[in-house]
Amino acid sequence: MTSSTSIPVIDDISVLYSAPKLASARERWFELHAKFQELYGQVPDFIARSPGRVNLIGEHIDYAGFGVLPMAIEDDCLIAVAIDHANPTVQVANMSHEKYPTLNFIPKPAEQGFVDIDPKAHIWSNYFAAGFRGFLEEMNVRDTPKGMKCLMNGTVPTGAGLSSSSAFVCCAVQATCKAQESILVKNAQTLPSSYEMAVISIRSEQYVGTMGGGMDQACSILSKPKSALFIEFHPVLKVTPVFFPSTLPPIAFVIANTLVTSDKAVTAPVRYNLRVVETRGAARILAKTLNLEIPASGKFHLKQVLDAHFENIGFEYTGKTEAEADIEKLTTMIDIVEQVFGTEEIKDGVSFAKVCEMSDLSEQEFTKLYIQQPIRAEKYHLYRRAKHVYGEERRVVQFRDTCEKAASASKQVSAESLFAQLGGLMNASQDSCHNLFDCSCDELEELTKLARQAGAYGSRLTGAGWGGATVSLVAEDKVPEFIAHIKKEFYGKHHPQLTGKELDHAVFASAPSSGAATFIGN
Ligand code: NG1
Ligand code: MG
């Protein structure tokens, strides 16, 4: 079957899951199909699927413009859809309808934004509405949209840093695209490529009220099978699959959920969005200190500071690989952060008034340029946040370089030393998230320590943090033993009531999954 957008169209789900997961996945798809018929009295026209992701390394740096290295996981969001050409009503039901009430609306005209979304109302269906509205606006649709009867089912744990939110938004964008295809075709519009679908999804999620980067949506839509994905954001979105050396004993990434949920939408003013603003403030002040030209829009993140600075001073590239050049630049930026923000007065945080004064802006100007969503803080940490961002990107570059060198090496590299290097970078990332970015928590600390004791080469929080899941690098043949240890020492102690499927879903190894796909078949 050919695809009309470049989101793959499939008629067999076996391409989406690894052998051990396939049987239960089939059951779940079958149930979705059956429930859809029960609910709407017809079969769905298609099922859209977008996966969650686990970030291997590169935390809280996507919104600072830096590259990250996540991998799509097998847990995903599915939306079964029937298109209604006669009636524009949109109905979005959830398989867990007791917990997630159905959304029903008749789209408003384009100039009124199609559907109202209140980011302050923390409801599940906002994520669908964000994808629906985002898609139609980005594609500049003016016609009345076709009606959509939808049934959603998600297996990505919520609030766990595995990106259940983006899996849902990406899936909604994809479902809307497929359902509204006839309008685009009628208006002679080119259907978006999968790359454009990723960009649309990144923009759409902003409607939910978080000032997020683009890692999750790019990973969910653009991942390729059997690989992690290196994602760059600046100057444009660019993705490169990263493979692990096939000649070495296989490794696995084990996900373990602390079960401390951190709902980003609820805590954003004092956590996620605050971090975005702190890094923006740091970028502004560094740019000023380094005499860089800041565009009138004020948009200037820490990656642009780095690029502009080295262009200004004329960086010497001769004789250096790309990774070596990047590492040298990032190391220099860390020194600059020490000089500019490492003083007694600034190091432990400053007031908002001081941030504005150092930025050469009034409080009103700063707010207008950099604070699109409400935030609350007594102190703003410029030193710690900027130091984390440049240090974390240096680890991303080292991680990727280590994998690529090992994958292309003609002579055998020692598995032990390679895995120890990668694990060491993951451990250093965890320390930085804990000490500098302040996005860890006691349970994440405990679980990552336990993971190392249980034989992981490295272990760190994944996603936004403040709870949620950890990711650990483990030799594949040690995975059963590793999981048994974590079950006993962490879940046995903190969640003794958890057993069976629930416990298996709290700690599991996920094979790299492929990105978004639309299933058309029966
Ligand atoms: P999660 O863990 O899904 O809340 C968030 C952001 C990412 C990235 C990470 C931290 C969204 C949709 N996701 O992820 O862009 O900044 O935190 O690295 O905002
Ligand atoms: Mg999320």
Closest CA relative to residue 128, chosen from 190, 201, 197? 201
3-state secondary structure of 225: coil
Rounded CA-CA distance 239/408 in Å is: 19
Query: What's the first-to-final CA gap in the chain, in angstroms?
Result: 14
Q: Ligand 1 atom closest to Cα of 439?
A: 10
Q: Which ligand does the CA of 461 lie closest to?
A: 1
Both tokens of residue 36? Answer: 């859809």
Q: Which ligand does the CA of 272 lie closest to?
A: 1
DSSP codes of every residue in 440-460 = --HHHHHHHHHHHHTT-SEEE
**What per-residue confidence (pLDDT) applies to 5?**
66
User: Is the distance from the beta carbon of residue 59 to the nearest atom of ligand 1 less than 6 Å?
Assistant: yes
Please enumerate in sequence order all residues whose Cβ is within 8 A of that of 401, keeping only pairs 6 or more positions apart, or say none. Answer: 321, 323
What 352-359 contacts at long range (C-beta under 8 Å, 24+ apart), as own/partner pairs, is: 352/377, 352/380, 354/380, 355/281, 355/285, 355/380, 355/382, 358/285, 358/288, 359/281, 359/284, 359/285, 359/288
Rounded CA-CA distance 250/245 in Å is: 8
Rounded CA-CA distance 431/437 in Å is: 9
User: Is the distance from the beta carbon of residue 216 to the nearest atom of ligand 1 less than 6 Å?
Assistant: yes
Rounded CA-CA distance 122/265 in Å is: 7
Please enumerate in sequence order all residues whose Cβ is within 8 A of that of 35, keeping only pairs 6 or more positions apart, or say none. Answer: 95, 151
Q: Report CA(434)–ligand 1 centroid distance (Å).
A: 16
Rounded CA-CA distance 336/266 in Å is: 35
Cis ω for the linkage preceding 235 (within 30 of 0): yes
Q: Ligand 1 atom closest to Cα of 214?
A: 15
Q: Report CA(158)–ligand 2 centroid distance (Å).
A: 8
Helix locations, 139-193, DSSP H? 164-179, 181-186
Q: Which ligand does the CA of 267 lie closest to?
A: 1
Number of Cβ within 10 Å of residue 311's Cβ equals 10
Sole residue written with tokens 């040690």: 478
Cβ-contact 288, 360 below 8 angstroms: yes
Q: Which of 59, 62, 303 to mutate to test the pocket of ligand 1 (most atoms within 8 A of CB)?
A: 62
**What per-residue confidence (pLDDT) applies to 1?**
32
Q: For helices 126-138 and 194-205, what crossing angle results, to 10°?
A: 130
* CB-based neighbours (< 5 A) of ligand 2, an ion: 163, 165
Alpha-carbon radius of gyration of the chain: 23
pLDDT tens series, the chain, 522 aa: 334 568 889 899 998 998 989 999 999 999 999 999 999 999 999 999 999 999 999 999 999 999 999 999 999 999 999 999 999 999 999 999 999 999 999 999 999 999 999 988 889 999 999 999 999 999 999 999 999 999 999 999 988 999 999 999 999 999 999 999 999 999 999 999 999 999 999 999 999 988 889 999 999 999 998 899 999 999 999 999 998 877 777 889 999 999 999 877 789 999 999 999 999 999 999 999 999 999 988 889 999 999 999 999 999 999 999 999 999 999 999 999 999 999 999 999 999 999 999 999 999 999 999 998 899 999 999 999 999 999 999 999 999 999 988 888 755 678 889 999 999 999 999 999 999 999 999 999 999 999 999 999 999 999 999 999 999 999 999 999 999 999 999 999 999 999 999 999 999 998 888 999 999 976
**What per-residue confidence (pLDDT) applies to 203?**
97
**What per-residue confidence (pLDDT) applies to 159?**
85
Length of the chain: 522
Q: What is the pTM of this model?
A: 0.95
3-state secondary structure of 62: helix
Q: Can you say whether residue 95 is alpha, beta or left, with left for phi > 0 and alpha for psi between -120 and 50 degrees?
A: alpha
What secondary structure, in 3-state letters, does 277-335 show?
A: HHHHHHHHHHHHHCCCCCCCCCCCCHHHHHHHHHHHHCCCCCCCCHHHHHHHHHHHHHH
**Rounded to the nearest 5°, which phi and psi values hold at 11?**
-125, 10
What are the E-state strand segments in 417-513? Answer: 458-461, 469-475, 507-509
Q: Look up residue 19 and give its amino acid.
A: A
CA atoms within 13 A on the CB side of 419: 20
